[in-house]
Structure formats: C-alpha cells, structure tokens
A = this chain, B = another copy of it.
C-alpha cells in the first residue's frame, strides 16, 4: 500500500510504499501517518501485510502486538486491529491475508462514507451560522482532523469542505498546533489545496480571537471519546474549549463512531501519550532552550464533555454526554 509521508509536508509530497507489518508500524510510530481514523486504517492494512508473511496464529499474534504498541491514545487503532483479527482468526492460515486485506479495505471504505455522513450533519451548523449574512463564517480549528488524518473528507474538515463547495463564505483560523505543528504543516496545506481562505495563528491566539468576536465556531476532531462524552484530542483542545465557553462561541468535536471508546467511563481513564522531548526542543534548526533543559511533552489532553456544544457523528449531532451518545448509539448501552 502507498501512503503520503506527512512528516515531509508541506515542503514535499512524498509517497512511501508499505510492504510489511513492520513498515506499517514504523509509519504509524514515526507519524508518517497520523490522525485517529488513518491510524486505524493503516494498522488494518498493516496486519494484512503481516499475515502475508506469516499467516499462522503466532504470526497473527505477533503482527497484532507490533501494531497495537505503536501509539497509545487513538482508540481507532485497537478497534481496527480487533476487527481484522476477529475476521481472520476462524479462517485457515492460507485464507487469512486476503481476508484481512478485504477487511482493511472495508474499514477504509466505511471511513470515507462515515466522514461524508458526518460532514453532512456538520455543514448544517455552518449554514445556520451563515444565515443571511454576507461576511464569512469564521471557524477555528486545531491540529489536523482533515483529509490527511482520515480517508476522504476528513472529520472536522468535512463540514468545512462541504460548506465551501456549497458556496458558503467562510474563513478558517488555523491553530499551528505545537509541538509538531500539524495545523501549520498539514491543515494550512490542505485548506490551500482546497482553496479555502485561512489564516495561521499560534495556539495561544485562539482565546484572544474569540474574545475579540472573531470566531463564530470551533471545530476539532478527536482521538478518543469516552462514553460520558469527554473528548481526548490534541493537546490544546481543552484551552480552546474553555475560551469558547467564556465567550459563548459554539464548539463541536467531529467524532466518527469508531473514535468512541464505550469501554471507558470518562476521559480520566484515557492513556495520554508522552512523546519525545525533541519535538518541543527542535521546532526548526537549533534547540530553543538551554542544553539539558527538562521537557514534558504530553501529546493529548482531555476536554470535559460539558464544555462542548455537541458532538458531530455520522448519525447526527448529540450532546457530549452519556445521554447524548446513548441516544444516537443505543446498541452500545449495556446497563
């Protein structure tokens, strides 16, 4: 399979071939691919590749173990691997690789359809804000929950692309998203490619823009949503939500149901990935702090559901709460 190496964007668009489970694990771990849905799909294909090399029970277990260990926070990773494993486990080894590839392809196709459906619900929020006004709807987003994070239209960006395609005037504030700058590197690149007007700002500027009434809507993705509606997403999302609440700006997380972890009661239970200090210390060339400076680098934060106006899913928009999620997904309610 082929992926776009996102660590090379925006300066070069480089395609990389993944030929083995190890290649896929490396691509996820090194963040050549990132974004919860794309991590899931890549892992599914990666398990299929691993089974081509060794379709035995031991090979299946080893491939699963290799891939599940790549990133701890996005729940789509486990979900996709569990799904492929469940499909192939009953099969004879000789049939496993093809079935796994088929399942991975189904996951990818469903992801595209899910994002399209999610976008269809989200675009109504943007259209309602646009109303009869002539000035652009001002949308702030953080990190990259775009086409690069998924297959198809992206999650948080799907409503934006659909609104733009429908002729709604809009402008996107792109939060740069330290430490790895996915907003600056990826979201700005995507929006530019789609012709959507946008302006790059540092992460800390989001709250100030909201206080100045220059933001009408905040739209973000999610790496994992717990069953009470808490949203684990790129670090900085919680601050955006606090600012949105303080300034009465509506804020939504775009959440395909594959990102909901029904096994966890609250966001406090989500494992938060601690990443390498070098991401903080070397945003460009030389280090930004004195040699030997101690660094903490949590990659995600948890935003309490109470701070969101709602969650946008492929089944519609709901409150970021246990009741809201249970209403849209009753099949997951097991009291």
Contacts and interface: CB of A to CB of B under 8 A. Distances in A.
Contact of A188 (B199, B243, B246, B290): B290
Nearest to A272: B208
A301 interface: yes
Interface string A290-308: 1011111110011000000
Nearest to A143: B204
A332 interface: no
B288 A285 contact: no
Interface stretch (A20-28, A35-43, A77-85, A231-239): A231-239
B179 A202 contact: yes
A66 interface: no
A204 B188 contact: no
A297 B201 contact: yes
A178 B198 contact: no
A176 interface: yes
How many chain copies?
Answer: 2
A289 interface: yes
Interface in A197-235: 198-209, 211, 235
Interface residues of A, number: 52
A76 to B, nearest CB: 21
A334 interface: no
B239 A296 contact: no
A18 interface: no
A189 to B, nearest CB: 5
A190 to B, nearest CB: 10
A296 to B, nearest CB: 5
A159 to B, nearest CB: 22
Given A202-B179, A302-B208, A192 B293 contact: yes
Contact of A199 (B184, B189, B205, B294): B294
A205 B243 contact: no
A289 to B, nearest CB: 4
A293 B200 contact: yes
A243 to B, nearest CB: 6
17 contacts: A178-B202, A178-B204, A188-B290, A188-B293, A192-B293, A198-B294, A201-B280, A201-B295, A202-B236, A205-B235, A207-B239, A208-B235, A211-B238, A238-B243, A239-B239, A283-B288, A284-B286
Q: Which 10 A-B pairs have the closest CB atoms?
A: A284-B284, A204-B236, A285-B285, A208-B301, A242-B242, A283-B283, A184-B289, A184-B288, A10-B290, A284-B285
